[in-house]
Amino acid sequence: MSNMSTFHQDYFFLIGIPRLEEFHLLLSIPFSIMYVTSLLGNFTLIWVIGTNKTLQQPMYIFLMLLAGCDILLSSTTVPKTLSIFWFNSHTISFNGCLVQTFSIHFNFATESAILVIMAYDRFHAICRPLTYTSTLTTSFIRKIIITALLRSVCIITPFVFLLYRLPYEGSNVIEHTYCEHMSMARLATADILVNVVYGLIIASCSTGVDLILIIISYVIIIRAVLRLRSSEARLKAFNTCVSHVCVIILFYTPAFFSFIAHRVGHKYVPLQVHILVANLYVLFPPMMNPIIYGVRTREIRQRVASMLLRAITRIHK
């Protein structure tokens, strides 16, 4: 037991993007552009929905939550990444690393749950329109949001304890731009089988189940839409789902690539490619989500256009 006594490093050294160190300053340009665009787009989305009573509907409330989650997801990692690129600020405290790990996985789990809720919203709107308003009440929405948050806390908190119990008596260099579960666990000088197994269980039982529920919802939605007699009605129904489907693809594709590369693909996927994709996973979806919904949702597009027009008029005055 004395050999297994937990020893923690005072700090970790985040190397950035391995083998691309000389391009860090150049990479900071698209990273910062995507981050600023993400913040502007998501804050605008929250402002537009939050200040317009006509948009206080379930679909828009869930969209506002998604925007908030996107802001937190990118803000948890990108500022530290940019500080590495710009100021060579590579160090992060042990506790800071744990906090960042929890925040990343918590936001990912919460966003995954929100996407399931949005799929449920589309299912009710298209397949059961007569009971839509009576089912998705304010009380019901509040309960499912609290449930999603509690689920994220319950499944992600063990990651912190599993990492904290491990001894770190060897290297303190993390080949990444931010801390996350497996990158920290691999530095431990002890068996990390429990960490690996728990990570697989969470990926299968939460994110995997979320994706299955979304797929089932859309199978039912597609069947219901195809039964509609009017081609115009079918097109309108499909159009209400296109934005959500695009967001799902943008969110899950890089996330699963990163998950697989960490566990089975690190021997076959170049490390720099893996780290680049891991950064895109916290940058690209948060940047694209407000653009997708802003372009494809008429109500949001009109509100943003009206807001911009008022701002331009005030400037000219």
Mean pLDDT for all residues in the chain: 88
> Residue 113 above 70 pLDDT?
yes
> Residue 265 above 70 pLDDT?
no
* Amino acid (1-letter code) at residue 316: H
**pTM of the predicted protein model:** 0.91
Residues β-bridged to residue 13: 91, 173
Residues β-bridged to residue 221: none
Residue 92 is classified by DSSP as E
pLDDT confidence of 166, banded at 50, 70, 90? very high
Neighbours of 223 (CB within 10 A): 10
pLDDT confidence of 5, banded at 50, 70, 90? very low
Q: Span 80-85, mean pLDDT?
A: 96
Total number of residues shown for the chain:
317
Q: What is the pLDDT of residues 36-46, one digit of tens each?
A: 999 999 999 99
pLDDT confidence of 266, banded at 50, 70, 90? low
pLDDT at residue 317 in the model: 66
* Amino acid (1-letter code) at residue 172: N
The secondary structure of 244-292 as a DSSP string is HHHHHHHHHHHHHHHHHIIIIITTTS-HHHHHHHHHHHHHHHHHHHHHH
pLDDT at residue 2 in the model: 42
Q: What is the pLDDT of residues 131-160, one digit of tens each?
A: 998 889 999 999 999 999 999 999 999 999
Rounded to whole angstroms, the Cα distance separating 6 from 4 reads: 6
pLDDT confidence of 6, banded at 50, 70, 90? low
Report the percent of the chain where pLDDT is more than 90. Answer: 56
pLDDT at residue 309 in the model: 81
CA distances from 301 to 40, 69, 94, 276 (A): 15, 21, 44, 32
pLDDT confidence of 3, banded at 50, 70, 90? very low
Determine contact, residues 213/119, Cβ cutoff 8 Å: yes
pLDDT at residue 1 in the model: 39
Residues β-bridged to residue 11: 93
Higher-confidence residue of 262 and 172: namely: 172
> Residue 65 above 80 pLDDT?
yes
Neighbours of 234 (CB within 10 A): 15
Contacts of 73 (CB under 8 A, 6+ apart): 104, 107, 108, 111, 282, 286
Neighbours of 3 (CB within 10 A): 7
pLDDT at residue 267 in the model: 66
Q: Span 192-201, mean pLDDT?
A: 92
